Amino acid sequence: NAGVTQTPKFQVLKTGQSMTLQCAQDMNHEYMSWYRQDPGMGLRLIHYSVGAGITDQGEVPNGYNVSRSTTEDFPLRLLSAAPSQTSVYFCASSPGLETQYFGPGTRLLVL
């Protein structure tokens, strides 16, 4: 099993550009989440999904969209990148609200 994979590993964007961060898991987990990690802020939940076709907002959803068309994939879309979205983004999956399996992260720099 590959576990949770994230692509790309690193991305540089210009303000106003859009992009999609990919996340995939091969563990058949229903629960998937996106977090951002900023220095001194810990992990903050952006969006999460409790199953295919179901998504909900977390603590910091503004500027991000998600969809969950399959159990395996949970992409995060930045509609119009802003410097405040410079961060490290982590995707996680789990069978429920217990042990979360994290991907390796995507480092995003918005200029």
Partner 1 sequence: SQQGEEDPQALSIQEGENATMNCSYKTSINNLQWYRQNSGRGLVHLILIRSNEREKHSGRLRVTLDTSKKSSSLLITASRAADTASYFCATDSTGANSKLTFGKGITLSVRP
Residues lying near partner 1 in the complex (CB under 8 A) are found at: 4, 33, 35, 40-45, 48, 56, 58-59, 90, 92, 97-105
The smaller minimum CB distance to partner 1, of residues 12 and 15, is found at: 12
Shortest Å distance, C-beta 15 to partner 1: 26
Do 66 and 34 form a contact (C-beta atoms < 8 A)?
Answer: yes
The smaller minimum CB distance to partner 1, of residues 7 and 80, is found at: 7
The smaller minimum CB distance to partner 1, of residues 77 and 101, is found at: 101
Shortest Å distance, C-beta 80 to partner 1: 26
Shortest Å distance, C-beta 90 to partner 1: 6
Do 95 and 30 form a contact (C-beta atoms < 8 A)?
Answer: yes
Q: Beta 64-66 vs 10-13: how paired, if at all? A: unpaired
Which residues lie below 8 Å from residue 91, measured CB to CB, with a gap of 6+? Answer: 4, 6, 21, 23, 25, 32, 33, 34, 35, 74, 76, 102, 103
